[in-house]
Structure 1
Amino acid sequence: MSTLSSLAAAFRQTSYPVGGHGRRNIQILKEALDGLDGKLESDIYGTGESIESFQAEMAAYLGKEKAVFFPSGTMAQQIALRIWCDEKGSRKVAYHPLSHLEIHEEDGLKELHQIESILLGEKDRLIRLDEIIELKDDIACLLIELPQREIGGDLPLFEELVAISAHCRAKGIMLHLDGARLYEVLPYYQKTAAELCTLFDSVYISFYKGIGGIAGAILAGDEAFTAKSKVWKRRYGGDLISLYPYYLSASYYFKQREPKMGQYFEEAVELAVLFNSCQHVTTLPRVPVTNMFHVHIAMPKEKLEPILLELYAETSVGLIHYLRESSEGICSFEISIGDAFAQIPKDRLKLTFERLAAVLREG
């Protein structure tokens, strides 16, 4: 058995995982559908009262004219950028070097749409307004990700977003929000989703990340934009005969968890303090700005994994199921707080970090 699978197996045996909403199993769907009338009619190829009602609710939440449910965010965002490229007559879009479109989608924009991506800024920080202003390429659309996941969930100041939005509108650049974790940034900004989304021409949100649904996404914008997105959704094969397991579960968990984002944020700040109290450990950001952050431990993987295995066995608190190791011998992982954190007894959480701190001091 590999060391990775050993750590993952030990994590699965713990009673108190630190991150997320709990185990992803069939119970997620069963719970979401349990209270619904079995005679509720399903959607058919993207139409029907239930899906259209949900889309209208999401459009209102985001402050946009219309919203369309997609089976995946990858599909939704590629389509959004294609629409803006067609409208502006340009095959160039700009986004952060660690955008999901750049590192996780196998060159989907290039291979499917012949769209050129302009990587803006540096990998280890947010895109800056001055870099957007100084951009020489004639781009159709700028994509901003909130929060910027691959650098610890960092966020620009709201005033910076306002300035970026104003610049894009003055220059005729469409501004798209990769809001996969949009709900998670609202406590930090102290804004509603609609207030934030008014800065953007189009918005994508996910229902499986912070919300914990099965899968699915919403793409929102004005009526003309969403009408075009439906055509592209059909071209992509996204109009399944029925999508109800996805949007009904999305609706169920959205209602449960969107109001808890402030709680998750506060708990992330609390947890980051515990990690930073341990020698050789730092979080990125040091003080989280959402319910997610990255943890960096200055110890090689082969030395850290046995420590975690022993810690899990002793406390039954699971910190993480994987470790990434950089060339400098520093391990890192991502923490995203959900319902699970509140289930950990405080004395057990305290014991876990006391033990971790003691071992890391010795190591």
Structure 2
Amino acid sequence: MNKLLDAFKQTTFQVNGHGPRKIQVLKEAFENLDGQLESEMYGKGKLIEDFQEKMAFVLGKEAAVFFPSGTMAQQIAMRIWCDEKGLKKVAYHPLCHLEVHEEDGLRELHQIESVLLADKTRVIEFEDVAGMKEDAACVLLELPQREIGGQLPDYQTLEAISAYCKEKGIMLHLDGARLFEILPYYEKTAAEICSLFDSVYISFYKGIGGIAGAVLAGDSDFIEKSKIWKRRHGGDLISLYPYYLSADYYFEKRIGKMKQYYEHAKELAGFYNQCYGVTTKPEVPVSNMFHVHFDAPKEEMEQVLTEICVESGIGLSGHIREVTETNSYFEVSVGDLYEILPREKLMDAFKLLDEKMRTKFL
């Protein structure tokens, strides 16, 4: 039994995200659609092709294809680049999704080995790429780097890495699961950032808040090859319309709110950093996401956060993870819920957090 999660679900207001993943999310997306629209079949049809063309334009690429999952899309991207280069090695951050969350899929399914760049505590810098000790067919950059709080390299670093990879004949892939969330920080369009990369993956269920699904984009030859691999992976379901139609709906609903989410994240991080024994990583967020760290064990922080849920009616988080025996953290992703929070109640919740941290740990 998870007392914190149960208490969190009972709160009147929650701080993070767009709201719970209920069936209503799909019902809302389909509410005003013509029920006589004809779905695609096995990846072919006007609805999905129009959406793919739209996303290719947004990302500034020749073509794009919708995938049921980002895991599938990115493994396929790596396979294509490795096959083209005749080299079964790709380079990325030690905490890259492919390395820590996919049960060695890249290695087991495609016999591709990883070259790890930088260390776990920081983003990849130009020197890490230029100083690679092994050859790699492709370098993958995750923007932002989720597992270290959503940190980002500066834009000049991206430009330098891109130029270096072009010069050396190394393909450059963007794990842009949260691409749209970083546009306000860089003050660039999605197409401008994607122009630095040979291939790009984006997600539709993170900041966009759709049901599931992803898009892979690149030049036409790359995308045609990815469609073949998509079929091999079983990604061509007979119909994918619940996913891409809801993705399109929530893309249109939220793409214009990314700057708002970013500004709210910076404000929220400031509230956390004013509390005793609490810090955020990064201190000032560079997107709508960041990590909140506590100088306290996981079990004790679960109790503190549960008490705040019950006493204030505000849910700061339903989960917390252990860093060490004396430190813990949770992840924040700011979305639509933050703007409807009553400010007075939010301040009461942070006052409670500060008081409880001082009482228990000072």
Residue segments in structure 2 that go unaligned for 5+ positions in a row: none
Residue 159 in structure 1 maps to residue 156 in structure 2: yes
Partner of 1:178: 175
C-alpha distance in 2 between matches for 1:75 and 1:305: 34
1:218 alignment partner, SS class: strand
Cα contact 2:139–2:172 (8 A) shared by 1: yes
Partner of 2:139: 142
Partner of 1:114: 111
C-alpha distance in 2 between matches for 1:115 and 1:254: 33
1:334 alignment partner, SS class: strand
Residue 359 in structure 1 maps to residue 356 in structure 2: yes
Residue 124 in structure 1 maps to residue 121 in structure 2: yes
1:331 alignment partner, SS class: strand
> What does residue range 202-217 of structure 1 map to in structure 2 within 5 Å?
202-217=199-214
C-alpha distance in 1 between matches for 2:248 and 2:176: 17
Partner of 2:243: 246
C-alpha distance in 1 between matches for 2:97 and 2:209: 19
CA drift of 1:301 comes to 2.3
> What does residue range 214-363 of structure 1 map to in structure 2 within 5 Å?
214-363=211-360
C-alpha distance in 1 between matches for 2:304 and 2:142: 35
Partner of 2:60: 63
Cα contact 2:93–2:123 (8 A) shared by 1: yes
2:166 alignment partner, SS class: helix
CA drift of 1:272 comes to 0.3
C-alpha distance in 1 between matches for 2:317 and 2:177: 22
Deviation digits for residues 39-62 of structure 1, max 9, x if unmatched? 011010001000000000000000
Report the AA paired with residue 199 of structure 2: S
Cα contact 2:276–2:354 (8 A) shared by 1: yes
TM-score by length of 2: 0.98
CA drift of 1:327 comes to 2.3
C-alpha distance in 1 between matches for 2:278 and 2:235: 43
C-alpha distance in 2 between matches for 1:154 and 1:327: 21
C-alpha distance in 1 between matches for 2:290 and 2:133: 33
C-alpha distance in 1 between matches for 2:51 and 2:208: 15
Residue 15 in structure 1 maps to residue 15 in structure 2: no
C-alpha distance in 2 between matches for 1:304 and 1:182: 31
Residue segments in structure 1 that go unaligned for 5+ positions in a row: none
Deviation digits for residues 145-196 of structure 1, max 9, x if unmatched? 0000000000000000000000000000000000000001100000000000
CA drift of 1:135 comes to 1.0
Report the AA paired with residue 337 of structure 2: A
C-alpha distance in 1 between matches for 2:164 and 2:103: 31
The equivalent position to 1:101 in structure 2, one of 95, 98, 103, is 98
CA drift of 1:137 comes to 1.3
The equivalent position to 1:79 in structure 2, one of 76, 81, 87, is 76
C-alpha distance in 2 between matches for 1:309 and 1:100: 30
Report the AA paired with residue 223 of structure 2: T
The worse-fitting range, judged by mean Cα deviation, of 284-293 and 296-305 is 296-305
CA drift of 1:303 comes to 2.0
C-alpha distance in 2 between matches for 1:28 and 1:227: 32
CA drift of 1:256 comes to 0.6
Deviation digits for residues 117-165 of structure 1, max 9, x if unmatched? 1111100101111121111312100000000000000000000000000
CA drift of 1:326 comes to 2.2
C-alpha distance in 2 between matches for 1:316 and 1:57: 41
Cα contact 2:297–2:324 (8 A) shared by 1: no
1:22 alignment partner, SS class: coil
Cα contact 2:4–2:318 (8 A) shared by 1: yes
C-alpha distance in 1 between matches for 2:77 and 2:118: 22
TM-score by length of 1: 0.98
